[in-house]
Amino acid sequence: MLGRPHDAAALLRECAQCGARKQSVCSVVEDEDLARLAVHSQHLVIQPGQAFIAQDEPAEEFFIVTGGQVKLFTLMADGRRQVTGFVRQGSFLGLAAQERYVFTAEALTEVHLCRFTHVGMKLLTAQFPALEQRLLLEAARELILAQEHMVLLGRKTALERLASFIMQRVEDCGGQPEITLPMTRTDIADYLGLTIETVSRMLNMLRRDGLIEIKNITRIRVIDRPGLAIRAAGERSGALM
């Protein structure tokens, strides 16, 4: 994990040029006030495979992903792993944490982060009342995403889960039909509550139906988006669990 020096001018430039600015809490802070925001943050670069949040560690900080993609997972008492999410630019991590983190966050690609301490953010919310409201909205969004994942695991078939996963990735990429999947097939299987064999079988089924093209292990092109949406919604799927 690399931290950048607390040079006020450099931090201000990075905040002003940040690609996640419009999506993050910073969006409620005017350009002329960015300097006050910047002094409470630290910019980090995380290499692929490195963790920057560890499950059960004290939750003293939270992070904004300003670039790259991150995998979230939880280890259960018996040693099994549950992947709980994949997040990208603009996402908040650790915002809803109380005393300890309940998940581990690991970089899938090179990840750029903006790190805030909870103490520093309290000082900022006192200066910028709109910031507190924005933080509450993001905390609520975290809960909604958790509920959606529960529905995905509990109510959908294997084919519906995978189709929903691909559709979400397309939406995350701004509707672009070709998507990159930096996570492994094992990661996808753990996230969807399936086996690797089932994930491979469902991918091949979607390919045979002419809905997607598998370009290589990390790239998929959606050919028939309406048809894929139908599979995700559970119509005419006929998929086996």
Give start and end residues of each alpha helix (H) in the chain: 8-17, 34-38, 118-127, 129-155, 158-172, 185-192, 196-208, 225-233
**Residue in this structure with the two tokens 């028939």, named with its chain if needed:** 224
Residue at 162: amino acid letter: L
Residue at 232: amino acid letter: A
Token digits of residue 234: 């559970």
| pLDDT class of 106 with cuts at 50, 70, 90 | very high
Predicted pLDDT of residue 235: 63
Per-residue pLDDT at 10 exceeds 80 = no
| pLDDT class of 185 with cuts at 50, 70, 90 | very high
The answer to whether the 8-141 and 156-233 domains have the same CATH topology is no
User: Which helix (DSSP H) or strand (DSSP E) does residue 211 occupy?
Assistant: none
Per-residue pLDDT at 32 exceeds 50 = yes
Domain limits of the chain?
8-141, 156-233
Higher pLDDT, 107 or 152: 107
Q: Could you read off the pLDDT of 215-235 as tens digits, one per residue?
A: 988 999 999 999 999 999 886
Q: Could you read off the pLDDT of 57-81 as tens digits, one per residue?
A: 998 898 989 899 999 999 988 888 9
Query: Percent of the chain having pLDDT more than 90?
Result: 44
Average pLDDT over residues 51-59: 94
8-141 in CATH: which number?
A: 2.60.120.10
Look at 1-5, 52-56, 134-138 and tell me which has the smallest mean pLDDT.
Answer: 1-5
Task: Classify 156-233 by CATH class.
Answer: mainly alpha
